[in-house]
Structure 1
Amino acid sequence: MMFRLTLLVFLLAGPVLASDRVLTIGGALTEIVYALEEEARLVGRDTTSTFPPEAETLPDVGYMRALSPEGVLSLAPDLIIADEGAGPAEALDVLSSARVPIVMVRDEPSADGLIAKISQVAEALGVPDRGAALAARVGADLAAARTQVAQLSGEAPKRVLFVLSTQGGRILASGTDTAAAAMIELAGGVNANTGFEGYKPLTDEAVAAMAPDLILMMDRGGDHGMATDALLALPAFAATPAAQNRAVVRMDGLFLLGFGPRTAQAVRDLSGALYGS
């Protein structure tokens, strides 16, 4: 906390509004900069910043939780807008010592958190009016999506288990207090796993007892993206309603979990997969 307070004091004293070399650390933050039509000021981004596609043409400073201060400073940014999960702390210490203004943006996976995120990015860029307009559009779109969800889900919401990884046949799944849990709720589903916060491994018996109607995963390759036939054949899933109905949904991670400007569409897509549209 003391480190972030130090950053904030420096940020308020620095020439943030005059910044024209902006680096974003966090995929949703990069999306917001583009949605604000301020992308001409971007000089770099992190590996999670994959949308819009043109963002991938920017220099990549690495994964947001494993930043190299040398790589960041090589782009000579005069403002860094970073997700609160960015790090490690040692890298942020070096950047602070180099007197680079840093805005740490809170990442709260909720409708209110999304609006606050937009407002904070817009304030950092000195375009609060654009931020207010974007927040109003995104908020209205999300409200409309939630109305549609309520009509689709009815009184029999489906149980959804978000699986982060199946590496080695072990199920690493979301509990409560995660972006995945928030999205499941927004889409009209019920989080099948409420036994813990965050992400933890589950035993086969625990997964079977949860009886998920649908398995939700990120759309990615490797062991994290086990093929559907192999996934449903795992002992953990074989007897579940999800396996019986072959109900597996894979979505782009940033789209599903980023809580950026496209969140309302992600809610619609997930709800449609759950209940039809």
Structure 2
Amino acid sequence: MPHPSRRQVLATALAAGLPLGLHAQPAPSPLSKSPSHLPRLITIDGSITEVVYALGAEAQLVGTDTTSLYPKAAQKTPKVGYMRQLSAEGVLSLKPDAVISTTEAGPPVVLDQLRSAGVKVELVKTEHTWNDVKAKVSAVGRAAQREEAARELQTRLDAEWAQVTRQVAAQSKPKPRVLFILSHGPSPQVAGLETAADAMIRYAGGVNPLSGFKGYRPMTAEAMAGAAPDFILTTDLGIQALGGIDKFWQRPELALTPAYRKRAVVVLDALLLLSFGPRLPQAVQEVHSRLYT
């Protein structure tokens, strides 16, 4: 059986927990040795790595995890493995001063070993709210010793967030029913409450028709017929895993939905859609615009 790609691992991890375009993508730059007077950083989460680049602190990065795929320059950094399967030896070999991650990183014993070795470990609680973004920016600012830059970045992001939330609130049309499908394997699943996908649907002005459970459940014909979604929300990796958009619509469960009759699907990059990083305003606006235009 082929091993999943790094992007497939990323999307599944984000979902299980993810255009304004006000910020240009940081220009790729070669990995360089971190300045001797600034902390050496390892980031364990793609959205936190994005914050490092947004702060211009990429020269301090000595390593990232396999979910760190944006911007492209992050893909060239030394990798310490998948965020839930870290090893203390791999992390410590890069001699970091600080490791920044979310509470989804692990295993816990490895994090304890890092602390015992004198590494500062910053963990951000995952709640799938705007506070996630604030906490990530603040955590990176502290660990990188760039607090002022972090405050300036947060001010800009807050302005973006205020703009997009006003736009969503001003929408007078009935809210569409939006169902998220995670389809990176042979058995697609649908998202209930307390998932990144559920939060994204609500922020973008939609309604998740699967409110009777938390987390993810297998996609069944009964679930699809009962949910009756107007739109399907999914990731680009999910579409690729199923063999393309035509193969996606050939799933028999989808034929039972209003979305099937209109071929109404919203497909976004998994990291953009589900990571709740600094591009969250952009992701919300993108989904909102596709639901209402």
Structure-2-length-normalised TM-score: 0.82
Partners of 2:63 and 2:77 within 8 A in 1: yes
SS in 1 for 2:101: strand
Q: Say which is worse superposed, 240-249 or 221-230, in terms of deviation.
A: 221-230
**1:160 is matched with which residue?**
178
**1:253 is matched with which residue?**
270
Shift, 1:138, TM fit: 0.5
SS in 1 for 2:63: strand
Answering whether residue 66 of structure 2 is matched by residue 43 of structure 1, we say no
User: Which 5+ residue runs of structure 2 have no aligned equivalent?
Assistant: 1-36
Residue-by-residue CA offset, 1:184-231 (whole Å, 9 max, x unaligned): 111111112111111222321111110011111111168744532332
Partners of 1:164 and 1:224 within 8 A in 2: no
Equivalences for residues 70-219 of structure 1 within 5 A: 70-151=89-170, 153-165=171-183, 167-168=185-186, 170-219=187-236
Partners of 2:221 and 2:256 within 8 A in 1: no
1:42/1:256 Cα in 2 relative to 1: closer, same or farther (>3 Å)?
same
State how far apart, in whole Å, the 2-side matches of 1:225 and 1:149 are. Answer: 31
Shift, 1:107, TM fit: 2.1
Residue-by-residue CA offset, 1:112-149 (whole Å, 9 max, x unaligned): 33223212221222222211111111011011012222
Amino acid at match of 1:255: L
Amino acid at match of 2:77: L
Residue-by-residue CA offset, 1:53-72 (whole Å, 9 max, x unaligned): 11111101111111122211
Answering whether residue 252 of structure 2 is matched by residue 235 of structure 1, we say yes
SS in 2 for 1:167: coil
User: Which 5+ residue runs of structure 1 have no aligned equivalent?
Assistant: 1-17
1:71/1:274 Cα in 2 relative to 1: closer, same or farther (>3 Å)?
same
1:82/1:167 Cα in 2 relative to 1: closer, same or farther (>3 Å)?
closer
Q: Percent identity?
A: 46
1:221/1:157 Cα in 2 relative to 1: closer, same or farther (>3 Å)?
closer
Partners of 2:184 and 2:237 within 8 A in 1: no
State how far apart, in whole Å, the 2-side matches of 1:216 and 1:28 are. Answer: 20
1:222/1:262 Cα in 2 relative to 1: closer, same or farther (>3 Å)?
closer
Structure-1-length-normalised TM-score: 0.87
Residue-by-residue CA offset, 1:93-118 (whole Å, 9 max, x unaligned): 33233222111122221123322321
1:194/1:226 Cα in 2 relative to 1: closer, same or farther (>3 Å)?
farther
1:161/1:89 Cα in 2 relative to 1: closer, same or farther (>3 Å)?
same
1:167/1:58 Cα in 2 relative to 1: closer, same or farther (>3 Å)?
closer
Shift, 1:182, TM fit: 0.9
SS in 1 for 2:122: strand
State how far apart, in whole Å, the 1-side matches of 2:184 and 2:271 are. Answer: 19
Residue-by-residue CA offset, 1:207-256 (whole Å, 9 max, x unaligned): 11100111111111687445323322323210211111111222111111
State how far apart, in whole Å, the 2-side matches of 1:59 and 1:127 are. Answer: 22
Give the CA RMSD over aligned residues: 1.8
**Larger RCO: 1 or 2 (CA < 8 Å, sep 6+):** 2
